[in-house]
Amino acid sequence: MNATEEKARRSIGARRNPASAEAILDAAEAVLHEAGYSGFSIEAVARRARAGKPTIYRWWPSKAALLIEVYQRQKRDIVYADTGNIEEDLFQFLRSLFGSWRDTPAGNIFRSLIAEAQFDAAAAEALADYARGRRAYTGKLVERAIDRGEVARGVDPSQIADMVSSYAWTHLLTGRLDESEDKLRAAVGAIVNGIKV
Amino acid sequence: MNATEEKARRSIGARRNPASAEAILDAAEAVLHEAGYSGFSIEAVARRARAGKPTIYRWWPSKAALLIEVYQRQKRDIVYADTGNIEEDLFQFLRSLFGSWRDTPAGNIFRSLIAEAQFDAAAAEALADYARGRRAYTGKLVERAIDRGEVARGVDPSQIADMVSSYAWTHLLTGRLDESEDKLRAAVGAIVNGIKV
């Protein structure tokens, strides 16, 4: 995660002890790696990290919140380019997101999280929060394009981000992360042509 | 489900006995209503319908395939309008889909199916199949628009359908089915403006 991305994250656990937090995240990664999503629990992470469950819950309000942070560590850096061309910026974003989901454990973690959010209210809340943050963040690509006069004023940046990430989510959830670059460009192109000045 | 939609469905169980099939679908609806998604099983449906499990499996290859058919019965008719304006057609489609998911049990059935598909290969296959069929079907709105010269040739209808339905799926999965009509129109507008002649 790069510095800007770090800053853009929600400030959950802002006052947590960095060393213990790192140890807990390391433990969480190890548990996930060894036991898989189904074996992942705050209890197992606490045991592994030799930390108390209350400590973990103080910094992460739910198992899902902890998983989201593990997810962010595992996924490769997502490209937020600033090429001066919104179509290119969004294409690079989408391509790097697809690649990260396909080539690292992050894709499976994220789709498990989405699944869990359909049955568990805390997971749903953590996911909704996270998704809102990501839309705002990706929306900055569109904001910049508005500022430089490439995209029409009046376009809602977070809605465009929503459409791009919805496209990505659905591909993740239906096993279509191998979409060709041409298809990704066409998807981005359709959206971008629709909002250009 | 209207006649055209019926025809567009995959031909699973084309040779099944209509009366028994109806009885099984009725039983499946009843089980789902009484026991919820977590209590839904082919076993319970067979008991309820006084049918053999092999009979059910002959017509529906998995629990998910049966659920998808129950889902299609429960969701209200989705509007596939032919107003001569692709933006209006897609808006009406999206609005009716959001409404059906919000106001009938169909929304919860469908998000449970998506969740299950993340852990179960048969469910994943049934869902992927179903989604592919829906994209082709919704893509017909775009095909018509191409035929009447409203949308550029070279646009892939099923990709546009993919973007519109991805937007819907993600809203379902993150509890945002109360999106305003203005937002839905803006989403459709961004896509449509991008592909118009």
Q: Pick from B38, B73, B108: which residue ends a domain?
A: B73
Same domain, yes or no: B34 and B91: no
Question: Looking at beta carbons, which residues of chain B come within 8 Å of A165?
Answer: 170
Tokens linked to B7: 């025809």
Domain span holding position B141: 78-195
Chain B residues at the A interface, defined by Cβ less than 8 Å, are: 111-112, 114-119, 124, 127-128, 131, 155-156, 159-160, 162-163, 165-167, 169-171, 173-175, 183, 186-187, 189-195
Q: How far, in Å, CA of A15 to CA of A36, rounded?
A: 29
Query: Chain-centre distance of CA B191, in angstroms?
Result: 21
Same domain, yes or no: A103 and A22: no
Same domain, yes or no: A63 and A85: no
Task: Determine the residue of chain A that is closest to B191 in CA distance.
Answer: A191
Q: For A146-166, what is the mean pLDDT?
A: 92
Q: For B118-133, what is the mean pLDDT?
A: 93
Same domain, yes or no: B138 and B191: yes
Question: Looking at beta carbons, which residues of chain A come within 8 Å of B175?
Answer: 124, 128
pLDDT digits (tens, 9 = 90+) for B80-125: 999 999 999 999 999 999 999 999 889 999 999 999 999 999 999 9
pLDDT at position A137: 93
B190 with A115: Cβ contact below 8 A: no
C-alpha count within 13 angstroms, C-beta hemisphere, residue A60 = 24
Same domain, yes or no: B88 and B172: yes
Interface with B, mutate which of A142, A166, A182, A193 (most B CBs under 10 A)? A166
Same domain, yes or no: A129 and A68: no
Tokens linked to A102: 């396909």
pLDDT at A6 exceeding the cut of 70? no
Residue closest to B187 by CA, chosen among A162, A146, A171: A162
pLDDT digits (tens, 9 = 90+) for B19-52: 789 999 999 999 998 998 888 999 999 999 999 9
Q: How far, in Å, CA of A177 to CA of A193, rounded?
A: 24
Same domain, yes or no: A127 and A142: yes
Q: How many domains does chain A have?
A: 2
Q: For A32-36, what is the mean pLDDT?
A: 90
CATH of the domain at A15: 1.10.357.10
pLDDT at position B192: 86
Give alpha helix (H) positions in chain A: 3-8, 18-35, 42-49, 53-59, 63-74, 86-103, 106-117, 121-147, 157-173, 181-195
pLDDT at A13 exceeding the cut of 50? no
Phi, psi angles (nearest 5°) of residue A84: 85, 0
Q: How far, in Å, CA of A33 to CA of A47, rounded?
A: 15
B186 with A124: Cβ contact below 8 A: no
Same domain, yes or no: A109 and A134: yes
Q: Pick from B52, B73, B94: which residue ends a domain?
A: B73
pLDDT at position B2: 47
pLDDT at position B16: 72
Helices (H) and strands (E) in chain B, counts: 10, 0
Residue closest to A78 by CA, chosen among A156, A22, A9: A9
Same domain, yes or no: A90 and A151: yes
Nearest-CA distance from B172 to chain A in Å? 10
Q: Which of the two residues, B75 and B169, has the higher pLDDT score? A: B169
Same domain, yes or no: A9 and A26: yes
Same domain, yes or no: B34 and B86: no
B156 with A127: Cβ contact below 8 A: no
For CA atoms A18, A20, A22, A28, give the dihedral sign. negative
> If pLDDT is split at 50, 70 and 90, which confidence band does B15 have?
low
Nearest-CA distance from A165 to chain B in Å? 9
Residues 6+ apart with CB under 8 A from B135: B158, B161, B162, B165
